[in-house]
Structure 1
Amino acid sequence: MYRSVHNNCIKYIEKHRTERKAYEHYVFHDPELLSPIDGDYALSNLLVKELEHKAGQIMESLPEQCKKIYFLSRHQGLSYPEIANKLGVTVGTVKTQMSRAFQKFREGLKDYLPFLVFIFLN
């Protein structure tokens, strides 16, 4: 059952990639949209900058192949098979490397969860 839920979550995430990319663009590239009218804008902006910095540190700490695969997936929007073809690796390798990248981001950003809640609720 766990595997079924996991697979359905992955399918959902992949299906909504375009929406997520647009949302990420607004969150990370246009922080004014987070809180344009309330007095917490400066704090929200500061937290977004801190999260960007931390995410950049995590990205830089990834092994080279993992970093390359993550970048192609999340920043260039390539599918796993496209990444595999481009880099000459198997789709399984791409999946494994993405899983490792996600794990690093989860571990590295776990202490920032309260800040994320604050940002998205304002």
Structure 2
Amino acid sequence: MDAATKDVTTRSLSLVDEFVLMLFSESTGYFHQVPGWNMNCAIVGAVLAELSLLSRIDTDMKSLHLLDPTETGDPALDPILQEIAASQESRDTQFWVERLVAHAESVISVT
């Protein structure tokens, strides 16, 4: 570390951040053309994967399980985590992807 970098802090990108960046085209300034439903499902999948990496949820072949409802501090993740935590029933991952797909645009806007 030298004088130019001693006060610099770094933050690693989340899986969601990296996924959204992969969709962005530097040459056009727009997102790559991906059919809306497919892109939205993929974004929700990235959020669920990130929540799993943070040990907030876990999945098996039959259901998605809430492990820790504590907020992450990430505005892209917390609304989805709150919705899962509010559920009274155990549901499978497909149910959650289809239900949470409405959050995809807000995930992009805060990423």
Note whether the superposition's TM-score is higher than 0.5: no
Q: What TM-score comes out, normalization by structure 1 length? A: 0.27
Q: Which has the higher strand share?
A: 2
Higher fraction of helix: 1
Name the TM-score, length of structure 2 as normaliser.
Answer: 0.29
